[in-house]
Amino acid sequence: DWSSDVCSSDLSFTVSRAYRNSPPIRSGQRLFEAAAAMIEHGLSAVTVVNQSNRLLGVVSEDDLLRVLLAALS
């Protein structure tokens, strides 16, 4: 039941369950690799992990758009 995951105090467990079908992006990979993974897998976000597969964060479509807009302005 996803609602019990959302209420979980362990955020990394919640995020890993929510993005379990997301291919992880390694810290240090380029943003276009995150964007390509999102497109390839039909996702609106991907997880970012370190070398030990520890969750560092999430990159979303909104994050990519902010970077694009900043680069164009």
DSSP 17-71: HHTTTSPPEETT--HHHHHHHHHHHT-SEEEEE-TT--EEEEEEHHHHHHHHHHH
Bridge partners of residue 57, in order along the sequence: 48
Residue keyed to tokens 């560092």 = 56
More confident residue, 7 or 44: 44
* Sequence-separated (6 or more) residues with CB below 8 Å from residue 34: 25, 46, 48, 59, 64
The pTM of the full predicted model, rounded to 2 decimals, is: 0.69
Give the model confidence (pLDDT) of 23-70 as tens digits: 889 999 999 999 999 999 899 999 898 888 888 888 999 999 999 999
In this structure, what token pair is assigned to residue 55? 């969750």
Report the pLDDT value the prediction gives residue 36, as an integer from 0 to 100.
Answer: 94
Asked whether residue 2 carries a pLDDT value surpassing 80, the answer given is: no
